[in-house]
Each structure stands twice: as structure tokens, then as C-alpha cells.
Amino acid sequence: MSRETSLRGRLIGAVLGAVALVWIGVSLAGWLRSRHELDELFDAHLAQSAALLVAQISEEGDDEELDLEHAPVLHRYARSVAFQVWERGRTLRLHSKNAPRTRLSAKETGFSHARIDGVRWRVFSTWALERRVLVQMAERVDARETAPEPAPSRDDDSEEEEDEEQLADEADEGADGLEDEGPDLVDVE
């Protein structure tokens, strides 16, 4: 009997071990695949944001002029996203408050990674107006890797309203009185 039990025990152990290894392998493959899809989704968001800036720039035309200014932060999560608009890739014309005055990436088209002030960023770069304007959009890598905060409970509604009012006030201050017109986005001479 003990030989039978031992054989049965070894067989059960081997089958359970094999099932566990397969389960771990499938879980790892699923996690890697979902991480890849999430990165693709974030990259698509960067590219779409850049496309919106390019569309705005293209719509503004050649005869608009823009002084260097900071765009206002309109949402609390906006601090993890930065953008820049460069004339001919050399002169900074518009950027978000959290963007440096140097280029986000040396790469002029497509996706790249950059380290700015010790923080890793994922950057998308594209040209507008027949390569006269370079648009760069970036997102902090650490923001991509952390889960978003849970939605506030009903008890937090007043705090959320205060945050929204504060952001709206900051946006009004950043608009410098331009209520009906958005800021010009490009200075092409």
C-alpha cells in the first residue's frame, strides 16, 4: 500500500506542479500582453493629443503671432502630461507649465523616451505646417505605471467641487482675459 500511495502522491504532485507552472505561465503572458496593450493605448492618446495641436496650428494659418507663454493647467492629472510647440524645431513658442524650456526629445518624429530632471517621459513628436512647427507631447512614465485614484465617494463631493473651482480659477488666470478666443499657437514668419 505505501508504494501505491507513494506513486499516487508523486503523480498528483507532478500533475499539480505542471498545472501550477502552466497557470503561472499563462498569467505572466496575460499580464505582459495587457501591459503592452495599455502602453499602446497611452501612446495612442499622446499621438491624438499631438494631432489636436497640429490641427489647431494648421487652422491658425501663417499670419498669426504668438508670444512665449505657459498654457494653464486645467486638470489635476494634466501635470503628468506636457507639451511643447517649436518653430522650425528651434524656437519654443508654447508649452505647458510643467514642460522644460529645452526640447522634450531630440527625436523629431515618432515615439521616444527621455529623462528630464531625473524623471522618465514617453514623448511623441510630429511636424505641422510643412515642417515649420514641431509639436512634442509627453507623459510621465511613472504616471503610466500607477493606477488612477478611485472615484470620490459622495462624502467627498464638496472637496471635488472645490478642486474644480480652483482649477477653473487657475484656468481663468492663465487665459489672461481671452474668454472668447483661445491662445494663438504658432508664430510663423
- When mean pLDDT is compared across 26-30, 37-41, 76-80, the lowest value belongs to 76-80
Residue 88 CA, chain-centre distance (Å), reads 24
pLDDT on residue 168: 54
- When mean pLDDT is compared across 6-20, 83-97, 169-183, the lowest value belongs to 169-183
DSSP E strands, the chain:
69-71, 81-87, 91-96, 110-116, 119-128, 133-140
Asked whether the predicted pLDDT for residue 103 surpasses 90, the reply is yes
Residue 182 or residue 62, greater confidence: 62
Residue 120 or residue 172, greater confidence: 120
Asked whether the predicted pLDDT for residue 182 surpasses 50, the reply is no
d(CA 120, CA 146): 14
Q: What percent of the chain has pLDDT over 70?
A: 63
Average the pLDDT over 116-122 and give the result: 92
Asked whether the predicted pLDDT for residue 121 surpasses 50, the reply is yes
Asked whether the predicted pLDDT for residue 21 surpasses 90, the reply is yes
Contacts of residue 116, defined as CB under 8 A and 6 or more positions apart, other chains included, come to 100, 104
Q: List, for residues 125-149, the tens digit of each pLDDT value.
A: 999 888 899 999 999 998 888 756 6
